[in-house]
Amino acid sequence: MSPFEQVRMNIPPKIPLKLVSLANLTVEEKATSFSRLDEEAIKSLFPKTYGNSAITFVEGESQGNTPKRVGVCFSGGQAPGGHNVIISLYRGLKQLNQNSILYGFIGGPNGFLKQEYIELNADRLALYLNQGGFDLIGSGRTKIETPAQFELAATCAKALALDGLVIIGGDDSNTNAALLAEYFLSIGLSTSVVGVPKTIDGDLRNDQIEIPFGFDTACKVYANLIGNIQRDALSAKKYYHFIKLMGRTASHIALECALKTHPNYTLIGEDVFSKKRSLKDIVEILAAVVEVRSNLGIDYGVILLPEGVLEFTSDYSTLLKELNGVLEKATSIHDTQPQEKIEFVISQLPTQSKLYTSLPQKIQLQLLLDRDSHGNLNVSKIETEALLIELVSIELENRRAEGGYKGQFNPQPHFFGYEGRSSTPSNFDANYCYALGLVAALLINFRLTGYIATISNLRAQPALWQPGALPLTSMLTMETRKGKLKPVIRKALVDLEGAAFLKFAAMRAMLAVEDDYLYPEPMQFFGPEEITDTCPLTL
Amino acid sequence: MSPFEQVRMNIPPKIPLKLVSLANLTVEEKATSFSRLDEEAIKSLFPKTYGNSAITFVEGESQGNTPKRVGVCFSGGQAPGGHNVIISLYRGLKQLNQNSILYGFIGGPNGFLKQEYIELNADRLALYLNQGGFDLIGSGRTKIETPAQFELAATCAKALALDGLVIIGGDDSNTNAALLAEYFLSIGLSTSVVGVPKTIDGDLRNDQIEIPFGFDTACKVYANLIGNIQRDALSAKKYYHFIKLMGRTASHIALECALKTHPNYTLIGEDVFSKKRSLKDIVEILAAVVEVRSNLGIDYGVILLPEGVLEFTSDYSTLLKELNGVLEKATSIHDTQPQEKIEFVISQLPTQSKLYTSLPQKIQLQLLLDRDSHGNLNVSKIETEALLIELVSIELENRRAEGGYKGQFNPQPHFFGYEGRSSTPSNFDANYCYALGLVAALLINFRLTGYIATISNLRAQPALWQPGALPLTSMLTMETRKGKLKPVIRKALVDLEGAAFLKFAAMRAMLAVEDDYLYPEPMQFFGPEEITDTCPLTL
């Protein structure tokens, strides 16, 4: 371990006052109004777990605090702070009863189904305090969906005589937690299932879950890099940096980073959708920004692109789906010449042949050539940032031909994603995760099932944070997935009426023409609290 | 300014004991043996400045310290710490004589030729202490080469009555400084010209220049990100990350980052060259690493690629040059069909048609289609990381067909470069740059010309650092550039007999099969000195 890691593993996270002493707490129902969509459908699918209230913890008589046997797994993509959830879950269980046991399932939910686990102990866990990654036990993306999988889950819970199972995950993983909780009760199994809200994407949130863990750190990592690139752009004065940001469909990360760094333009997918923008509209907007700046004598800039932004366009997302359909059916064309392929595809596209025809030959070919090892089209390989750079270049050349644009356009593509998912956690995420793990321990101690741990009042200092839990069923709605109506936790998109977006929207026009770059520091851990202990701006 | 920037601008850099009081210093010649290549040629080109010794500073009688009028510019790419050079140059000049004046030339050497400058003052400079970027006055890449340009330079020096000009730059910029120093003397102009060694690439170094400034910070930024990605790879266990690193031809950055992070494989261009590797050799080495790991049950990994690595191959670099030649001559083929283009090119390539033919169609097409707005081939657009990923994928499929490889290969490309050039400087670079600026002030005070500022003993604490200067002519050799024999500062490549490379080479085989990832922290500024004040490992 490096000197930094050694120092960090010895710094205790800050604990909310309400969670300092777990042994004397009891549960209190909290009056909260949920906007329950699809109430009847959810109620009929979750007869055992539907209808619970949100809860909070108050001082009260000890509830016995018998020893508990608990399992925990990570589910889905990495997010900074995950190790702290497991460590405080362990410490919380031990605080409630020294004889409690914690198992870590290896490689995500699949480790649970296959009964691949390790028993966690204090010495080993201590090495992971405040460290990044999920590498203590790894993660995975297996969904528990089939009857056989549910049976395997029950088999494991019985084999280990689990009192509780903690699933640390995002929207899909917590939907899984809700289904497992209901299933276990339906077969008379007393294993509590509890979720913990994790995802850098920031799309698992509601009135009670102010933000999932990991979002803060990831945005701080990206914002520091964006600031560095902005300072470079301002120094060199000759590049346009197109920076794609991870975050799946929603644009939360891009919005948070835009507020932290003030780049010249930031596309927000939800905004693109609400304004019914086409790919061409987006290209014209970006080209207009470049042209206006150029006419002011500025031939550099920084543009942020959420990775999911083109899914919100009115046309390009459809083209990709149609191309996939055409190439799936017509396997025989794989060996024909490029030009024949293009002509064949144009003749087959149901609605988007005009858009495809309008793309430059290079992009047309890439859309056909980028196939995976099984010969399938791999659309994700056509990078959003490369596509937009190519199209904006062409649009600018058209504008040059018409006399409007006279500048130099030197674009540079970037993609920030994996850099931020396993970073050492910010103090905010380290503290937040530690508090979430303690709540998970309490929920299992009280034999509560089908809940997700919550911490509210996150804008305040950690001592004042409010622990609680929310019934997972209150978060479910019905959606069609792969042709079937299923209960899901709907991804929270950027709220176009929310304070964060409105603040951004109010500066958008100004930032496009006047550089007001901010340069967030690399995450600091030892300095003044106003530098080390900030929370996300979108809170 | 953010709270971090405000705190940082108020932290005085650590100053070498020898530079605490500038007013009582005098110059001493230092016996150093230079390996003077092309001695006669350099001597005849630099009759006025050739033959000087290296110098150091010792306590002695004050030399008058009359007021000086000085200009400064950045030249070439950004490197963290540059602002500190200018600030300490200013403060050093003022310490020597309160009436001295410092001008900053805007946008690099071009600002000098065009007499575009600002007079710098203490209040404005104070805002830039310890901050990243070159945005105070910007930079540029103009070379001063033609007789007309030399005359413009002299005109500016005379117009501003400059006693000194400080050029903060890399190998080419310091060659320019040497030429200007000689030229000014030859026309009887007393303006001293002084260089400061700057470049994140680390390729401007010799016995006296242990490392140029900026290298330390850039490597720390990249190493933190590489560590994050390694932790992600180890957590997710399903991706191969191919990380290209900036650094031009030489592989110093990749070597430093490899020592800091221990990735599974790192290509070193100089090593590729000494072993006469072809592109195919490299692809086979990387595929072998992936196959061996897969047979051990490991389908993830991290691979570092210096951006210049393919220039060192025995064949691919030639192919690119030949393709450029063919396409330059045959402009009429631009409008023909892709397949015709490929066939035409194959028929025209002087020596590398076999290599071109062996490439996958997708790459063949990209090599022809990626043209800039003037229709010229833009080979830099064919990303090294994307090319190697494609070729390794194909090689692995061949190995799978032969029964050797049975794994899953999910590659992810990355490029780290612009993120590190304008970062807030590490404490090392902040202190180092501050010391370099003070030396530059002394050199001009003593009316020394044709020198580059040096600081030695950099592995020690800053108090013990040794200030000095090296005659630029001692660093020059003759090389053919654009068909003409010219004096240049030869880029320092990685020394394959040096301790840094040997340490790396000794672990290389182990790292390929046993994960020993290190996770360097984001740069810290307020913690224990063993965390905040480290120097580059390759020192």
Convert the pLDDT of each residue in A129-175 to its tens digit. Answer: 999 999 999 999 999 999 999 999 999 999 999 999 999 999 999 99
Distance CA(A427)–CA(B81), nearest Å, equals 27
User: Model confidence over A124-139: pLDDT tens digits?
Assistant: 999 999 999 999 999 9
Contact A138 B235 (CB under 8 A): yes
Position B511 pLDDT exceeds 70: yes
Coil, strand or helix at A17: helix
Residue A28, CA atoms < 13 Å, CB-side half-sphere:
11
Backbone angles phi, psi at A69, to 5 degrees: -110, 120
User: Model confidence over B380-411: pLDDT tens digits?
Assistant: 566 889 899 999 999 999 999 999 999 999 99
Question: pLDDT confidence of A374, banded at 50, 70, 90?
Answer: very low
CB B353 within 8 A of CB B318: no
Position B10 pLDDT exceeds 60: yes
Contact A234 B531 (CB under 8 A): no
Distance CA(B189)–CA(B179), nearest Å, equals 13
The pLDDT value recorded for residue A373 is 45
Among A25-34, A43-52, A253-262, B75-84, the range scoring the smallest mean pLDDT is A25-34
The pLDDT value recorded for residue A383 is 80
How many helices, marked H, and strands, marked E, lie in chain B? 20, 15
Distance CA(B196)–CA(B134), nearest Å, equals 14
Contact B232 A361 (CB under 8 A): no
The pLDDT value recorded for residue B228 is 98
Mean pLDDT of B317-343: 80
Strands of the A54-59 sheet, one edge to the other: A25-30, A54-59, A466-471, A451-456, A192-197, A164-169, A69-74, A101-105, A117-119
CA separation, residue B518 to residues A107, A208, B51, B458, B503 (Å)? 21, 37, 47, 24, 16
Quote the percentage of chain B above a pLDDT of 70.
95
Position A360 pLDDT exceeds 90: no
CB A430 within 8 A of CB A84: yes
Output Rg (C-alpha) for chain B, integer angstroms: 25
Distance CA(A514)–CA(B405), nearest Å, equals 54
A130 exposed, middle or buried (CB, 10 Å; 0-12, 13-18, 19+)? Answer: buried
Question: pLDDT confidence of A382, banded at 50, 70, 90?
Answer: low
User: Model confidence over B180-213: pLDDT tens digits?
Assistant: 999 999 999 999 999 999 999 999 999 899 999 9
DSSP element (H, E) containing B300:
none
Contact A228 B525 (CB under 8 A): no
Tokens standing for B505? 């080479």
The pLDDT value recorded for residue B362 is 75
Full set of structural domains in chain A with CATH: 37-56+64-214+425-489 (3.40.50.450), 216-421+498-532 (3.40.50.460)
What crossing angle do the helices spanning B316-329 and B361-369 adopt, rounded to 10°?
Answer: 50
The pLDDT value recorded for residue B323 is 85
* C-alpha closest to that of B310 among B233, B375, B367, B238: B367
Distance CA(A19)–CA(A13), nearest Å, equals 12
Tokens standing for A162? 């689990």
Contact B236 A77 (CB under 8 A): yes
CA separation, residue B76 to residues B73, B114, B170, B210 (Å)? 10, 17, 7, 20
Residue with tokens 């990831």: A218
The pLDDT value recorded for residue A92 is 98
At residue B373, what is the residue type? S
Q: Which residues of chain B does A7 touch, with a Cβ-Cβ cutoff of 8 Å?
A: 527-528, 531
Distance CA(B528)–CA(A115), nearest Å, equals 43
Length of chain B counted residue by residue = 539
Q: Which residues of chain A does B531 touch, with a Cβ-Cβ cutoff of 8 Å?
A: 3-4, 7, 526
Residue with tokens 């032969």: B402
Average pLDDT, chain B: 93
How many helices, marked H, and strands, marked E, lie in chain A? 20, 15
Question: pLDDT confidence of A33, banded at 50, 70, 90?
Answer: low
Position A376 pLDDT exceeds 50: no
Tokens standing for A516? 């007001």
∠ CA A493-A497-A502, nearest 5°, is: 105
Strands B466-471 and B451-456: antiparallel
The pLDDT value recorded for residue A375 is 47
Q: Which residues of chain B does A528 touch, with a Cβ-Cβ cutoff of 8 Å?
A: 3, 7, 526
CB A200 within 8 A of CB A472: no
The pLDDT value recorded for residue A185 is 98
Distance CA(A357)–CA(A379), nearest Å, equals 17
- Strands of B186-248 (E only): list them: 192-197, 240-245
Tokens standing for A532? 């080390």
Using CB atoms, which residue from B418, B519, B526 is nearest to A241? B418
Residue B396, CA atoms < 13 Å, CB-side half-sphere:
26
Residues with Cβ within 8 Å of residue B351, at least 6 apart in sequence: B318, B322
More confident residue, B483 or B173: B173
Output Rg (C-alpha) for chain A, integer angstroms: 25
Q: Is B401 on the interface with A (CB under 8 A)?
A: no
CB A435 within 8 A of CB A89: no
Catalytic residues of A: 201
Distance CA(A25)–CA(A445), nearest Å, equals 10
CB A105 within 8 A of CB A116: yes
Contact A525 B524 (CB under 8 A): yes
Catalytic residues of B: 201
What crossing angle do the helices spanning B338-348 and B316-329 adopt, rounded to 10°?
Answer: 110
Mean pLDDT of A100-126: 98
Position A370 pLDDT exceeds 80: no
What's the DSSP call for residue A467?
E
Coil, strand or helix at A537: coil
Residues 84-113 of B with CB under 8 A from A: 107
User: Model confidence over A403-424: pLDDT tens digits?
Assistant: 999 999 999 999 999 999 999 9
User: Model confidence over B116-162: pLDDT tens digits?
Assistant: 999 999 999 999 999 999 999 999 999 999 999 999 999 999 999 99
- Strands of A198-269 (E only): list them: 240-245, 265-266
The pLDDT value recorded for residue B329 is 77
Distance CA(A41)–CA(A33), nearest Å, equals 19
CB A133 within 8 A of CB A83: yes
Using CB atoms, which residue from A138, A239, A527 is nearest to B526? A527
Residues with Cβ within 8 Å of residue A27, at least 6 apart in sequence: A55, A56, A57, A58, A446, A448
Among A41-45, A279-283, B328-332, B516-520, the range scoring the smallest mean pLDDT is B328-332
Contact B133 A232 (CB under 8 A): yes
Distance CA(B7)–CA(A107), nearest Å, equals 43
Position B520 pLDDT exceeds 70: yes
CB pairs under 8 A between A and B: 191
The pLDDT value recorded for residue A236 is 96
Q: Which residues pair with A466 in a beta bridge?
A: A456
Q: Is A360 on the interface with B (CB under 8 A)?
A: no
Backbone angles phi, psi at B103, to 5 degrees: -105, 140
Question: pLDDT confidence of A367, banded at 50, 70, 90?
Answer: confident
* Cα dihedral: A131, A133, A138, A143 (round 10): 130
Backbone angles phi, psi at B418, to 5 degrees: -60, -25
∠ CA B113-B116-B122, nearest 5°, is: 125
Q: Which residues of chain A does B135 touch, with a Cβ-Cβ cutoff of 8 Å?
A: 231, 234-235
Average pLDDT, chain A: 93
Backbone angles phi, psi at A384, to 5 degrees: -50, -45
Q: Which residues of chain B does A412 touch, with a Cβ-Cβ cutoff of 8 Å?
A: 418
The pLDDT value recorded for residue A324 is 80
Question: pLDDT confidence of B446, banded at 50, 70, 90?
Answer: very high
What crossing angle do the helices spanning A499-513 and A252-261 adopt, rounded to 10°?
Answer: 50
Q: Which residue of B has its CA nearest to A362?
A: B369
Q: Which residues of chain B does A525 touch, with a Cβ-Cβ cutoff of 8 Å?
A: 524, 527
Q: Is A54 left (phi over 0), alpha (psi -120 to 50) or beta?
A: beta
Question: pLDDT confidence of B287, banded at 50, 70, 90?
Answer: very high
Distance CA(B433)–CA(B252), nearest Å, equals 20
Q: Which residues pair with A339 in a beta bridge?
A: none
CA separation, residue B74 to residues A236, A415, B158, B194, B200 (Å)? 10, 29, 20, 12, 14
CB B253 within 8 A of CB B222: yes
∠ CA B296-B302-B307, nearest 5°, is: 140
Mean pLDDT of B523-534: 96
Position A329 pLDDT exceeds 80: no
Residues 409-438 of B with CB under 8 A from A: 412, 414-415, 418-424
Write down the ipTM of this complex: 0.95
CB B456 within 8 A of CB B210: yes
User: Model confidence over A282-324: pLDDT tens digits?
Assistant: 999 999 999 999 999 999 999 999 998 998 998 998 898 888 8
Q: Is A520 on the interface with B (CB under 8 A)?
A: yes
Question: pLDDT confidence of B35, banded at 50, 70, 90?
Answer: low
A452 CB neighbour count, 10 Å cutoff: 30
